[in-house]
Amino acid sequence: MPKKYHIPIKTAEPRHNTIGKYAIIEFREDCAGSCRECVKKKCIYGIFKENYMHLSTMNEPEYLYACHSCFRCVQECTKGIFSRVVNPEYRTLGDDYWKPEIIYKLWYQAHTGKVPVSGAGYRGPFVAAGFDSMWTDMSEIVRPTRDGIHGREYINTCFELSRRVSPLKFGEDMSLVSDVPPILENPIPLMLRLPDAFLSNKHIIESSAKAAQGLDTLLLLRPEDYSDALLPYARNLVPRLNGDNIMDHEDLILKSRAVELAFDSNIQETVRKVRDIKYDLVLIIGIPLDKNAASRAVELTHFDVDTLLFYADENGNELNAEHPRFLKEMIREVHLNLVNNFIRQKINLVFSGGIAMAEHMAKAIICGADGVIVDIPLLIALECRVCHRCRNGLSCPAKIDGKFDSEWGSQRMINLMGAWHNQLIEVMGAMGIREARRLRGEVGRSMWFEDLEMESFGPIFGKRKIAGLK
């Protein structure tokens, strides 16, 4: 049997109390005090376990973050002294894009490495902006393995970072005569990168490097973040360089399998210089995801490079635009421009920015990406609350600005990515897609809000008068 890709998931407890969605409020002044029917003793989740014993002290009402929302204490208390509120601390998590529920679920996955599973139906909006306006399709009959969840290990999630030579040439004796560049494959369609605008320190960097190794993926790293502590992980590190500093980091280039070069007007010259230092290197060009992205992709595909890495802003929006488009539309534009120029197979596309959940990874691939960059979720795995305090040099409420065990940090990141990998497989299994590479640009395995509205509702209701999703 061939070796199967395996992510070593292991429970990694949070260092701080998880901020729950709801809090129970208890108006103790009305408490009977010695009620035999006290609901605190009956709570099936035991969230009052350490609390009800101290009733007699009549302390201030306290929040209990572990509430499972069954409402039984609220409804059964003989004096009706319980109520519930949305935990005000929960409301402060994240921002408009990195919403509290996203952060909360990422914490759970980083803790357990498990796919979030719940009962009852979907609870969210019918449709929303960004990736939430498309659905993945499923196949009623065709399955990749004919064996559902038990055959999931046969689903391949690899993606390539190295360029392809096409067509291959063979000599008269059928030996390969084409100059085949090195092959660099990632077993999971994502790479790691620490977000520039957020805090960084040696513990975070070491955790990320160790996680990249554990996941057998790559961590893109600024040269100033390299240290001797990262030597064991060198195989999984990619230095992020530019035309001005490549000659200063020749040593990094020599010991890396891939290098990221920032796009500039002299990129061709920079590529040549790097190739001179190490010829068989996978070159990734980092490009801003702006209005020129699609045309640059065509231009750069003709150069001697392997992968194009496009950077949207941290919320997945187009850069330098008055009305920025979302990642989904931008991926389509770049991908289709290459398809229309018959060169899509020659290059790999990776997109960065706004990848916040496992489904974003699957949907980005459907739109045309080969892989994605995971950035802010790495910090969320370390209990970051996306409060943005670190941008202003303020202290971190999750205390990741201090010392912590990089073993713990890397395990949290591995758990999170392991859960994402499993979710990708769930979705691919439902679609009947056996390989992530075959999912790339396969919009036929997706359904889009605008199309469904037009197809199903158009004949009934006529022309849509409200554009967008309002």
Partner 1 sequence: MKKNNIHFQFPKTVKTPDRFRNPISKYTIRRNARCVSCGLCAELCPYGVHPRYDDYAKPLRPLDYKCIGFKCKENDFFCIDRCPEQALTLRRNPILDTLGDYRWTAEMLIGHWEMAETGNLPVVDLEYSLGNSGGGFDKIRFKIPDPDDYLNLTDTDMDTSVNLNKRGDGRPVRINAIPCYGGGMSYGSTALSVMTSRAQAATLLNTLTCTGEGGYPDELIPYADHVITQIATGLFGVREETILRAPMVEFKYAQGAKPGLGGHLLGDKVTPEVAAMRETVVGNALFSPFPFHSVYSVEDHKKHVDWVKEINPKALVSVKVSTPTDVDMVAVGSYYAGAHVVHLDGSYGGTGAAPDIAKKNIAMPIEYAIPKVHNFLKEEGVRDKVCLIASGGIRNAMDVAKAIALGADGVVIGTAELVALECVRCGHCESGRGCARGIATTDHELGKIITEQWATQRIVNMYMAWRKQWCEILRQYGLKSIKELVGRSDLLVHLDYLDEEERSKYQPAPQAELII
Restricting to residues 274-333, name those near partner 1 by CB under 8 A.
none
By CB under 8 A, tell whether 174 contacts partner 1: no
Least CB distance to partner 1 at residue 121 (A) = 4
Structure tokens at 449: 């809000």
Q: Parallel, antiparallel, or unpaired for β 307-311 and 348-352?
A: parallel
Residues 119-138 that bind partner 1 (CB under 8 A): 119-128, 132, 135-138
Which one of 62-70, 299-307, 323-331, 389-397 is the stretch in contact with partner 1 (CB under 8 A)? 62-70
Residues 336-395 that bind partner 1 (CB under 8 A): 357-359, 362-363
Stated as kind and residue range, the H or E segment containing 275 is helix 267-277
Which one of 188-196, 215-223, 268-276, 427-435 is the stretch in contact with partner 1 (CB under 8 A)? 427-435
Q: Which is nearer to partner 1, 393 or 462 (CB)?
A: 462
The residue within the footprint of partner 1, chosen from 59, 69, 92, 227 (CB under 8 A), is 69
Q: Identify the DSSP state of 136.
A: E
Interface mask toward partner 1 for 233-272; x: CB under 8 A: ----------------------------------------
Q: How far apart (Å, rounded) are the C-alpha atoms in residues 335 and 442? A: 11
The residue within the footprint of partner 1, chosen from 143, 275, 346, 389 (CB under 8 A), is 143
Q: Which is nearer to partner 1, 197 or 454 (CB)?
A: 454
Residue 65 vs residues 39, 383, 400, 413: alpha-carbon distances, Å? 17, 16, 22, 24
Rounded to a whole number of angstroms, the distance between the first and last alpha carbons of the chain is 52
The residue within the footprint of partner 1, chosen from 34, 36, 60, 117 (CB under 8 A), is 117
By CB under 8 A, tell whether 29 contacts partner 1: no
Q: Which is nearer to partner 1, 169 or 470 (CB)?
A: 470
Which one of 10-18, 68-76, 199-207, 339-347 is the stretch in contact with partner 1 (CB under 8 A)? 68-76
AA letter at 223: P
Q: How far apart (Å, rounded) are the C-alpha atoms in residues 437 and 175? A: 27
Q: How far apart (Å, rounded) are the C-alpha atoms in residues 200 and 219? A: 14
Q: How many residues bind partner 1 (CB under 8 A)?
A: 80
Q: Which is nearer to partner 1, 171 or 462 (CB)?
A: 462
The residue within the footprint of partner 1, chosen from 432, 435, 438, 442 (CB under 8 A), is 432
Residues 208-237 that bind partner 1 (CB under 8 A): none
Residues 450-469 that bind partner 1 (CB under 8 A): 452-453, 455-457, 459-466, 469
Which one of 57-65, 197-205, 246-254, 428-436 is the stretch in contact with partner 1 (CB under 8 A)? 428-436
Least CB distance to partner 1 at residue 190 (A) = 15
Q: How far apart (Å, rounded) are the C-alpha atoms in residues 158 and 263? A: 26
Residues 154-173 that bind partner 1 (CB under 8 A): none
By CB under 8 A, tell whether 430 contacts partner 1: yes
Q: Which residue has the tokens 């490079």?
A: 305
Residues 73-92 that bind partner 1 (CB under 8 A): 74-78, 80, 83-86, 90-91
Least CB distance to partner 1 at residue 416 (A) = 14
Tell me if 198 sits within 8 A of 379, measured CB to CB: yes
Q: How far apart (Å, rounded) are the C-alpha atoms in residues 272 and 287? A: 18
Tell me if 205 sits within 8 A of 230, measured CB to CB: yes
Burial code (b: 16+ CB inside 10 Å, e: under 16) for 80-111 equals ebbebeebebbeebbeebbebebbbbbbbbbb
Q: Which is nearer to partner 1, 68 or 202 (CB)?
A: 68
Q: Which is nearer to partner 1, 298 or 452 (CB)?
A: 452
Q: Which is nearer to partner 1, 23 or 281 (CB)?
A: 23
- Check the CA dihedral 254-258-260-266 and report its sign: positive
* Residue 316: partners with Cβ closer than 8 Å, 6 or more residues away: 97, 130, 326, 327, 328, 353, 354, 355
Half-sphere exposure of 61 (CA within 13 A, CB side): 14
Q: Cis peptide leading into 116, omega within 30 of 0?
A: no
Interface mask toward partner 1 for 8-27; x: CB under 8 A: -------------xx-----
